[in-house]
Amino acid sequence: MERLVVEGGRPLRGSVRVNGAKNSALKLMAAALLADGESVLENTPRILDCLTMTEVLQHLGADVSWDGSTVSVDTRGVTATETPYELVRKMRASIVVLGPLIARFGRARVAMPGGCNIGSRQIDLHLKGFERMGAEFTYEHGYLEAKAPSLTGASITLDFPSVGATENILMAAVAATGTTVIDNAAREPEIQDLAEMLVEMGAHIEGAGTTAIEIQGTDSFRPVRHRVVSDRVEAGTFAIAACATGGEVFLEGASASHLDLVLAKLSDAGGEVAAYDDGVRVGMEERPRAVDFVTLPYPGFPTDLQPQMMALLSIASGTSIATENVFESRFMFVDELNRMGADIRTEGHHAVIRGVERLSAAPVRALDIRAGAAMIIAALAADGRTEIADVHFVDRGYEDLEARLTGLGAEVHREPARWPALA
């Protein structure tokens, strides 16, 4: 329950290395379960969520070890097929072990995730997909029990291009008998990364990164060494922070093609953007201009950068409108931004952001990973000293953020919580 203390008003300048993607690494770690042996993932971010996935895999019997940003997952000891509530509660993404467990063992018992701070987040699309392939589910005492003695390829059209459902179904379909087609599939770069690793492991997949993924099942998978794709959300967070502070940063290892719309919006807001083979440079000299944006599945504007973009636009000249289309309650952090002097009103899934000249430091809290990042951006841009409570949320998705911001000239440090946690 630590807090971050930020002295605002200093432009971020310099170069920062972008880590491997959280949303890829978690799935790749789960995918290792498909093969019997040791898979090695390079460029894995050492963040709380990856440490939770480490615990999930260890609970199943895997031997997981870390050496810097390289994680080895040895699945030879995996015999258990249950993921307990304590772990799913810490991180909903724990449920991505469902697909590989069904594929390899024909059964799994996984705690049902509850709601979270950005919406209710069902997993019905995951389950419908598995059922189409022949899996059967029972639900009792908060646990889902899956039985699938054999999986058969099927034609599955998702109601919504869900990232998690696409990945979970993909990881089961690679081991099904026959052909599976996932239509209206999510197209995120992290899904392409997962498909690349699965293909290296022996899977037959075509069309990953498009809306129709075709999978020919196979029954033999080998352990592999794979490098996690760079984190476009982390890169976008640093890019927006640079713009909000009137600075300029080089995002080493960032892929401009994964950030197309984000960089275009930052340009529209008055930012300077230059893409290179080895990274992206982003800066802003003037006060940002208002821009409207709408979150959508990839290649739309990522919902995971919506809070950070709102923080930037809260100090823009003019009024912006943000529309959140992916999660139902992803504006809850707005009250925290308004405590810092922002003028944002929300109505359903729209937010009207009237830009103010300056934000003023105030005690605030991080409500989730990305809302926490937005509060840090607001604090970096604000006058005075902001204290951000509940920084453990930020640690779930960003490795060593204060050291990396300090390297860019920010004044940020961590302190113990002022008050002990209530419960």
Which range touches ligand UD1 (CB under 6 A), out of 78-86, 158-166, 360-368, 381-389?
A: 158-166
Which range touches ligand UD1 (CB under 6 A), out of 9-17, 137-145, 161-169, 261-269?
A: 161-169
CB 26 to ligand UD1: min, Å: 5
Would you count residue 165 as binding ligand UD1 (CB under 6 A)?
A: yes
**CB-based burial of residue 279 (10 Å sphere; 0-12 exposed, 13-18 middle, 19+ buried)?**
buried
**CB-based burial of residue 392 (10 Å sphere; 0-12 exposed, 13-18 middle, 19+ buried)?**
middle
Tokens of 167: 């990945």
Would you count residue 303 as binding ligand UD1 (CB under 6 A)?
A: yes
Of the pair 36, 183, the CB lying nearest ligand UD1 is at 183
Helices (H), 183-246: 189-201, 232-244
50 an active-site residue? no
Q: Of these, 5, 12, 25, 26, which contacts ligand UD1 (CB under 6 A)?
A: 26
Which range touches ligand UD1 (CB under 6 A), out of 82-90, 162-170, 203-211, 220-228?
A: 162-170
Would you count residue 160 as binding ligand UD1 (CB under 6 A)?
A: yes
Instruction: Report how far residue 361's alpha carbon sits from residue 389's, in angstroms, rounded to the nearest whole number.
Output: 13
Determine which one of 112, 116, 294, 356 is catalytic. 116
Instruction: Report how far residue 245's alpha carbon sits from residue 33's, in angstroms, rounded to the nearest whole number.
Output: 43
Which residues, 57 to 96, sit near ligand UD1 by CB under 6 A? 93
Would you count residue 125 as binding ligand UD1 (CB under 6 A)?
A: yes
**Number of Cβ within a 10 Å radius of residue 267:** 14
Which residues, 179 to 208, sit near ligand UD1 by CB under 6 A? 186
Q: Of these, 193, 214, 304, 368, which contacts ligand UD1 (CB under 6 A)?
A: 304
DSSP 61-105: T-EEEEETTEEEEE-TT----EE-HHHHHH-GGGGGGHHHHHHHH
Which range touches ligand UD1 (CB under 6 A), out of 32-40, 157-165, 245-253, 402-410?
A: 157-165
Q: Of these, 3, 10, 126, 226, which contacts ligand UD1 (CB under 6 A)?
A: 126
Instruction: Report how far residue 377's alpha carbon sits from residue 99's, in angstroms, rounded to the nearest whole number.
Output: 37
CB 23 to ligand UD1: min, Å: 3
Instruction: Report how far residue 88's alpha carbon sits from residue 90's, in angstroms, rounded to the nearest whole number.
Output: 5
Would you count residue 121 as binding ligand UD1 (CB under 6 A)?
A: yes
Q: Which helix (H) or strand (E) holds 116?
A: none
DSSP 335-402: HHHHHTT-EEEEETTEEEEE--S--B--EEE--SHHHHHHHHHHHHHSBSEEEEE-THHHHHH-SSHH
Number of residues that bind ligand UD1 (CB under 6 A): 20
Q: Of these, 162, 245, 255, 314, which contacts ligand UD1 (CB under 6 A)?
A: 162
- Binding-site ranges for ligand UD1 (CB under 6 A): 23, 26, 93, 119, 121-126, 160, 162-165, 186, 303-304, 326-327
Q: Which residues are known catalytic residues?
A: 116
